[in-house]
Amino acid sequence: MKKGWIFLLGLLIVLVLAYGGVSWHFSNQLLYPPLMSDSELAAEYGFLELRDVGLEGDVVTVTSLDEDALSLSGWWIDAGGDSAFVLVHGRNSNKKALVRYAPIFVDRGISVLLLDLRGHGDSDFGYATFGDRERYDVMGAAAWLAEKGYDSTAHVGIMGISMGGTASILAAMELTADDPDAVDALIFDSILADVPASIVFNAEKAVGGAVPVLLPGALLVTKLRSGADFQAGNPMAHAADMTVPALFIMHTTDDMVPVEDQERLFETYCGPKEEITFEGLGHHRGHQEMKDEYEAAVEEFLTETGFMQ
């Protein structure tokens, strides 16, 4: 009988250690996204350097506003006006993915800051947390703009792509809690609208029916390692409290963030809002495939929010 209990105890220890090891492995997949190479970025976004779209800018350093105070890299393009936008890339990419969007603003007299989030591009290392910790990077960018004179008396906006949209909405929530005029407009292209649901959606592609068994352990380890809270860092949990005017750009065949999730976020969002949905296009493909329609929608939104006279 004693040997039987010892065997069972040993088996239990082995299973716990094995599950812990698997959880650690899958937490790595969440915290360390495979970063896109320049060739992959070029294939996905079309442009890599500001000169490719006829622009020039300065390399600047932004400090994240969390306790780590990470140094973040950015490209600053001064259009000479009294308004500015922060552009925020998605998971796996970097500020080069934002180059194609910069002329939308600069050509209309709006300065732009293209930001490398933590762990991406030329910024300091930091865990990827689906926007939860990245909110402090975007807040740091807003603080950098304020130091240049783009404070609550100016027009300041944030545009986020995919996970960058999640970081942007969370940053705007924090910033406007202290100063309701801190952010005047938000643009979300293919926003990661429901973080827990998107993690499950994409995990099922990798491990299928094993998600209910493997994911809870991976999420627990991820939270212990990074401090990320995917519930508190979920846009769906805060949309009803948001009052900043927002433009939602969605795509009906988005295979990364289900358009249904984005539509639910749009419906829940309490502030003034507009939407444009591109039929038959995938994740953030609107500007590549339907540039004129895309830019017309953005221009109309910028006019409505006072960025253009």
The pLDDT, as a whole number, for residue 7 is 62
Determine the average pLDDT of the residues in 273-280: 98
More confident residue, 277 or 309: 277
Determine the average pLDDT of the residues in 148-157: 91
On the 0-12 / 13-18 / 19+ scale of CB atoms within 10 A, 23 is: buried
pLDDT tops 70 at residue 10: no
Percent of the chain whose predicted confidence (pLDDT) is above 90: 75
Q: Do the Cβ atoms of 50 and 101 come closer than 8 Å?
A: no
Determine the average pLDDT of the residues in 73-83: 95
pLDDT tops 60 at residue 1: no
pLDDT tops 60 at residue 159: yes
Least reliable range by pLDDT among 43-47, 86-90, 197-201, 286-290:
197-201
Q: Do the Cβ atoms of 72 and 63 come closer than 8 Å?
A: yes
pLDDT tops 80 at residue 23: no
Q: Do the Cβ atoms of 95 and 115 come closer than 8 Å?
A: yes
pLDDT tens sequence across 212-243: 777 888 788 888 899 989 888 999 999 999 99
Can you say whether the dihedral through the CA atoms of 181, 85, 284, 39 is positive or negative? negative
pLDDT tops 90 at residue 15: no
Model confidence, pTM: 0.93
Domains of the chain, each with CATH number or no CATH: 1-31+196-228 (no CATH), 36-194+234-304 (3.40.50.1820)
pLDDT tens sequence across 263-276: 999 999 999 999 99
pLDDT tops 90 at residue 26: no
The pLDDT, as a whole number, for residue 87 is 98
Residue with tokens 């994911």: 215
Among residues 238, 227, 106, 236, which one has the least CA distance to residue 159? Answer: 106
| Alpha-carbon torsion, ordered 258, 238, 66, 121, to 10 deg | 20
Determine the average pLDDT of the residues in 28-33: 86
Q: Do the Cβ atoms of 120 and 89 come closer than 8 Å?
A: yes
The conformational region for residue 198 under phi > 0 = left, psi -120 to 50 = alpha, else beta, is alpha
pLDDT tens sequence across 112-141: 999 999 999 999 999 999 999 999 999 999
Residue with tokens 């592609």: 205
CA distance 231 to 196: 7
Instruction: Report the SS3 class of residue 73.
Output: strand
The pLDDT, as a whole number, for residue 75 is 98
Looking at every residue in the chain, the average pLDDT score rounds to 92
